Chain A
Amino acid sequence: MRARDIMTSPVITVRTGATVQDAAALLAARGFTALPVVDDDDRLVGIVSEADLVRDRFPRDPRSLIHGEPPAEPASAPGTVGEVMTTPVTAMGPGTDVAVLTQALLDARQRSMPIVDGSRVIGIVTRRDLVRVVGRDDTTIARDVQHKLEIYGGPGRWQITVDGGVVTIGDEFDDATDRHVATALAEAVPGVVRAHTIVSGCEEG
């Protein structure tokens, strides 16, 4: 499975000069967790996350002050996305293996990975996108695998069963190349944990 198979595209970006308020409104309205930040030439220069946007934005409620305690100096809240964004930003190409992308997100404790073609942002993969793939139900997965295999081997040839994301492909012909291709095609379907083939009845690895 490649990044392009699961990325959100087109992606909404913000400019460095956009206000924190506008960027936060955009995140809240769309349910995103982060926005790639681009400069005036549309080049990626950073990423702005929920954490970046909410930092130092909330004054203490005066009612929560302990009696006699002098009120704290109001924090000078930064006004633009360029001031609060996280830099530098790491990105990956659309052909990146989702296994590699997921590991990179986990290692860097990042929530999202912009997907770029050259220096242009063409999509984004968030943890949410990955969770959605993991959570795909077996019926939907089976339908997608069936569709992919029919393109390759013709209709009615394969019997697909899916259990917990594990795909079993039944094939009456025992051709090593076909079985290898069928397995590879099935494993490229979002939500598939593993795929293996069996020859009509007798189970094999």
Chain B
Amino acid sequence: MRAHPGDWLVIERGDIDHPARRGRIEEVRSVDGSPPYLVRWLDTDRVALVFPGPDAHVLAPTELERAYHRV
């Protein structure tokens, strides 16, 4: 997993009751763009140092926009 500051971290959830969770990546704590990321969660506005699991992926701002318009 690789990310740049400003990208979005999206956590897909299995059930439809819980929509995907999104957060803005404010800081990348490695030179090669791998985790952990300092993420500001959209739903809580809290910042946390996040180690994503396999259900997470990184979207660049343009990719997120594209994904939005498709839905």
Q: Chain A residues in contact with chain B, CB under 8 A?
A: 43-46, 82, 85, 87-93, 104, 107, 116, 118-119
Report the minimum CB–CB distance from A37 to chain B (whole Å).
Answer: 8
B51 contacts A92, C-beta separation under 8 Å: no
B49 contacts A45, C-beta separation under 8 Å: no
Give the residues in chain A near B49, CB-CB below 8 Å. 90-93, 116
Give the residues in chain A near B29, CB-CB below 8 Å. 118-119
A91 contacts B51, C-beta separation under 8 Å: yes
Give the residues in chain B near A43, CB-CB below 8 Å. 34-35, 51
Taking the complex as formed, is B55 at the interface, i.e. its CB lies under 8 A from any CB of chain A? yes
Report the minimum CB–CB distance from B30 to chain A (whole Å).
Answer: 7
Q: Chain B residues in contact with chain A, CB under 8 A?
A: 9, 11, 29-30, 34-36, 46, 48-56
Q: Which residue of B lies closest to A90 (CB)?
A: B48
In the assembled complex, the Cα of A45 lies from the Cα of B51 at a distance in Å of 6
Q: Which residue of A lies closest to B49 (CB)?
A: A91
Mostly, the B contact residues are loop
The 10 tightest CB contacts between A and B, nearest first, are A87-B53, A44-B51, A90-B48, A88-B52, A46-B53, A89-B51, A45-B53, A88-B50, A91-B49, A88-B53
B53 contacts A116, C-beta separation under 8 Å: no
Give the residues in chain B near A91, CB-CB below 8 Å. 36, 49-51
Evaluate whether A89 and B34 lie within 8 angstroms (CB atoms) in the complex, with A107-B46, A118-B29 already known: no
Q: Which residue of A lies closest to B36 (CB)?
A: A119
A119 contacts B34, C-beta separation under 8 Å: yes
In the assembled complex, the Cα of A44 lies from the Cα of B51 at a distance in Å of 6
Give the residues in chain A near B54, CB-CB below 8 Å. 45, 82, 87
Give the residues in chain B near A88, CB-CB below 8 Å. 9, 11, 50-53, 55-56
In the assembled complex, the Cα of A107 lies from the Cα of B45 at a distance in Å of 13
